[in-house]
Structure 1
């Protein structure tokens, strides 16, 4: 909520509306969400989640006003619902399951790398947590750390399923190959746990966010570090970007010609229109070319 509402406010959006799923027991939105909405300057907050929230925001209901744009990640059904209403409203993208790639060299701390992979896999069983490293020794050490830590975690079953289906370690010939693989994957999060991480940054072409160095770990980006953490997933970082104020700004073209300029340009426009077989267009242009005759 903070990652979207704060940016909307900074962009100057006059009315910010948010939806949050209610607690199944009380039917109320959690206090921490209410507090975040107040801090972020949300005007209206509705106890509503899932695809039904997307439908209500897009079309309006007796209690929920229709909006112009819907932003923010969600589960599979939220993503599918956003796809359905795109064109009726604007959307920021169609974020899918979260994903993290970690590029690490032999000097990386295996405990830290393991902790970051576990944190990513904790999201859900479709999350991807992948290590790219030229060091087999590091990969084996990370695997051992994960084994030791996994059973201590409350979401161990989800993590285990995620790692089994979408996680793993890839041994690359060198860091150059690791960067090439990362660019091909175009991950939502790319963490550079190497001796000189800034040397790799110019080589990264596709990533939602780059976390530079072992102290710039992805969990901080989830909550407190960097710009918005609403980032492109599923390879869409090849052509999409994280949420910014520009997602809440639209541009209108303004065309204003004086009589002489219109008269000078009209014959050109008429010629192009005639080539396209649009006689009415050509006639409208020729009318303006008579100005000053």
Structure 2
């Protein structure tokens, strides 16, 4: 199944945010003990439902050590076929094939959301390769219509709140990191959230590259885009981390680097091409000319 062909489900997940909560349902604690792909699959099979209301802690623990194929079948038989359509089923024999696992979240205009996945793809983005598949959440926001009951003077206030507060997947928190305009091939804008905080025992026991880091510090791990002059250039440059180009191993010891002067862009009359501020455009300014 293509990552970009998934349509949002008409059902929406009730947001269950346990940050700062004294009482965490035992089902959520048990869920956090599962492999992430198992936990996410279970949540994707109960859209619009509260985990604590549809399954017992003992049943989650019983499923914990099942092979992925058997686990999916068990969760589908118990929950998926009750709350999802057949087209939403993620039956696969390739769970351990090495393919990239994409974890999707579709956000409705009222702020509720539905999980989809894991979806298996042959290629992953640079972001997936650096952080690991389970630490990247692909988020699509529904269009807000003017006649929508959630429409207001600030029609995107709900989405802004999600971008600020993040999205909870069990006891994991995912924060907005970067977005990409899908262009002609992919409709709409696709956002990427990354894992920041987590209180699961599995995560606390394993080191994570961005533990204790701010989003700004995490972004600077990839590039110092904050030095760019405008927000538009910032996001255009930063979205390069979403490239699916494969990395080639190159022996850098035999390569000599030489710093050269900027090369101005010239028109057919050999005159400098100027930008809107009257400054010469240069081939080394951004990736557009390089590409």
TM-score calculated relative to the size of structure 1: 0.25
Structure possessing the higher radius of gyration over alpha carbons: 1
TM-score calculated relative to the size of structure 2: 0.25
